[in-house]
Amino acid sequence: MSEQNAVLFANGAFYAAFSGRDAAAMERVWAKDKPISCTHPGWQPLVGHAEVMSSWKSILGNPTSPELICRGARASIYGDVAIVTCIEELGDDKGESEFLTATNVFVRAGSIWTMVHHQAGPVNIDPQTLEEEEKPSVN
């Protein structure tokens, strides 16, 4: 597996944990031996393992948390640090979507990439643009 694919796999594990409301899986995604931080939309920055994990347990345990899909993930690798940018599509029970832009930062821990920072915030995006980007290109 290429490093690019390994980082995107780690990013996918983060979103799978969120979508599955799996606090244990979310815990495994984050670095244990590095400082971590997170800024949820509208929240002040959270710093440290206890604060970050407490926030995720609260979000994942909330039955009204929205459904979430990661779209258009792109990874850039800088040695042992990787940054993934993507669009988060949050769906509600009325079939309407809201979009956030997210930045996820990972560090290499041996052969595994672990998250050290997540930040998401509102973005104004045309959903049709996302659909066009995700269509396979034909050459």
pLDDT in tens, 73-130: 999 999 999 999 999 998 866 777 889 999 999 999 888 999 999 999 999 876 666 6
Q: Does residue 46 lie in a domain region?
A: yes
- CATH code, domain with 121: 3.10.450.50
Angular region, 124: left φ>0, alpha ψ -120 to 50, beta rest: beta
User: What one-character DSSP code corresponds to residue 2?
Assistant: -
Q: Does residue 37 lie in a domain region?
A: yes
How much is the pTM?
0.88
| Number of domains into which the chain is organized | 1
Q: Is the pLDDT of residue 137 over 70?
A: no
Q: Does residue 15 lie in a domain region?
A: yes
Could you list the residue range(s) of the whole structural domain that residue 111 is in? 3-133
Looking from the CA of 9 toward its CB, the CA atoms found within 13 Å total 10
Angular region, 114: left φ>0, alpha ψ -120 to 50, beta rest: beta
The 10s digit of each residue's pLDDT in 79-92 is: 999 999 999 998 86
